[in-house]
Amino acid sequence: MCGIVGYIGTKKASPILIDGLLKLEYRGYDSAGISTMEHGYLSNMKDKGRVKNLYDLEGIDSLEGTIGIAHTRWATHGKPAKENSHPHMDNSNTFSVVHNGIIENYQNLREFLTNHGYHFLSQTDTEIIPNLIHYYYTKLEGNNDKFLQAVHQACGDLKGSYAIEVLCKDEPETMIVARKDSPLVIGVGKEENYVSSDIPAILSYTKDFYLLNDGDLAKLSNTDISFYDSSLTPITKELKNIDWDVSACEKDGYEDFMLKEIYEQPKSIRETIGSRLKKNEKVNFEDISFTKETLSKFNKIYLVACGTAMHAGLAVKPLLERLCHIPVIVDIASEFRYREPLIDANTLCIYISQSGETADTIAALKLSKKQGATTIAISNVIGSSITREADFTIYTHAGPEIAVASTKAYTSQITLLTLLTLYFAEVLESAPVSVITNIKEELLLLPEKINEVLKDTSKVKEFAHKVYTEKDIFFLGRGTDYTVSMEASLKLKEISYIHSEAYAAGELKHGPIALIENGITVVGILTDPTLVEKSVSNLQEVITRGAKTFIVTNQELNQTNYDEVITIPTTNPFISPILSIIPLQLFSYYISKEKGLDVDKPRNLAKSVTVE
């Protein structure tokens, strides 16, 4: 949701900035713009629409500045329009600013600035920032570091979330950045520095990064970076090497990032398992190292997340309860934090976020820490906000996920949560060794079984072609198959814009069957041998009423009146959600392609939801 790029060095800034914005398109946006330091003035080139539209702006090819900032905007305050696009400048054109986040008190600040003679050209909350900086800047005559001081004072007035980059025409070799509750990283090169809201945007230029904490500011030149805390006290930062493969941010011959990431799942699962699980050994979690005494004190476990990450929690809940004998509550982060959850020192809270920057999830984590809970963060991004807030952090190793609709991050999250469950059970000695051993063996076989599913996807593609014009599709399942139904339904909504709903199959007769009519499509998932007969009965009910059926199963089915059956390899029912979702990810993908939609960048959606 919104993206930031910055460059300060010896090369022309504009091509680097636009390249970075193109790599941030997956975050979701409706307009884009860049500002560069030219010969004594700040340029400002922006427009609504796609980043590629910037190439058509008059004068953009003549930009020569070696310092610049850039932004892709996802509309919050003010409709998508050129005047609401970033960068924004103050009335005197002294400062240029790009901003991710939301300024909650912008109306009060706007009124304050209006009373002091400032006027506004947009409807955004962001435009108050450069004008507020200018207001303080004019009060600091004679100050040795007016630019930094003015930005610091302005940030002190802002309530809400922000990651900002600021240029000042009076200091043409300096950039200042600051963050609070929105991600921002600084990449280090040779006589050049980069800034971005997300590592993939600048990964092709550097793998060495500084990570800013909440309240931090940084002053950059092309050869130096100075860091300050929220009190403007100088601080030091550790330079981190991010060892991601640059090619992971490219399509690498695939038509879309989503398709590439679906096919990367055997690798991402294998790498998430990594050294944590070896044959005939106990699961290794040295990064948390809980004792039996520590785990025994927990009387409940919360799994808290949003969207797909929440579905990953739902998929693992049955296994966690079965093996560890601890009640597990899966909750939506945006609901959890507002209903006064029952949390204390005997509560374990696990927070799941691919980006590690999901605003609601971070806020929920902070709440549980205040109430004394032990917290674990599960993220795919090293050094992300959630990992710096939690007591403990464990990482999936999915690599950069560019498509907005999550695929490989989801299956990696289930894999990691399953490993964590096995670890807990072994420490607690709460489950039969034979059960744990079987699940371990099946986890190690998953990458090859996913490859088997991906070898031939023609039947999925053919059925997608038959139903892509439909307006409603329903998903049914029981137990863990129901959690897969929820995720499959979400995928279809996200990228095809078809209305879909997931129902627990046993609830069909309690209302949803009223929606079943002749010709409608119902997707059934059947992987649990203890529940398959009951699920088959529910599917026969929809067939009787004229529904077309698309079945994903690894069970022997006696009925032959299904329209299409996708057979997947057998595995332990507790980890079947990792395998059964694969053809359903492809189902959504192929429907979207049939409709001619932008698979990687669906409308109205953002990859990283950094505002509440």
Q: What is the set of active-site residues?
A: 2, 607
Q: How far is CA 582 from CA 273, 323, 412, 444, in A?
A: 18, 26, 12, 17
> In this structure, what are the phi and psi dihedrals at residue 68, rounded to the nearest 5 degrees?
-165, 165
| Long-range contacts, 484-487 (Cβ 8 Å, 24+) | 484/315, 484/525, 484/576, 484/577, 484/580, 484/581, 484/584, 485/523, 485/525, 486/311, 486/314, 487/308, 487/311, 487/315, 487/410, 487/577, 487/581, 487/584
Q: What is the length of the chain?
A: 612
Three-state secondary structure string covering 115-178:
HCCCCCCCCCCCCHHHHHHHHHHHCCCCCCCHHHHHHHHHHHHCCECEEEEEEECCCCCCEEEE
d(CA 128, CA 107) in angstroms, rounded, equals 9
Cα angle 479-482-485, degrees, rounded to a multiple of 5: 155
Contact 123, 182 (CB under 8 A): no
Cα distances from 64 to residues 38, 52, 533, in angstroms, run 6, 19, 69
- Rounded CA gap, 99 and 197, in Å? 10
| Beta carbons within 8 Å of 562's beta carbon, 6+ residues apart | 524, 539, 543, 549, 550, 551
Structure token pair of residue 351:
């927070």
Token duo for residue 246: 């640059």
Tell me the C-alpha distance between 414 and 12, whole Å: 44
Contact between residue 296 and residue 326 where contact means Cβ atoms under 8 Å apart: no
Query: Phi first, then psi: what are they for 109, rounded to 5°?
Result: -70, -35
Query: How far, in Å, CA of 246 to CA of 249, rounded?
Result: 6
Query: Within 13 Å and on the Cβ side, how many CA atoms surround 300?
Result: 13
Which amino acid appears at position 172 of this protein? P
Give φ, ψ of 103 to 5 degrees.
-95, 105
What are the E-state strand segments in 175-278?
Answer: 175-180, 185-188, 193-196, 208-211, 217-220, 225-228, 234-235, 240-241
| Inter-CA distances, 65 with 41, 187, 511, Å | 10, 19, 63
- By the 8 A CB rule, do 424 and 295 touch? yes
Token representation of residue 30: 């409706």
Q: Which residues pair with 332 in a beta bridge?
A: 305
Distance CA(67)–CA(285), nearest Å, equals 44
Residue type, 13: A
d(CA 151, CA 143): 13
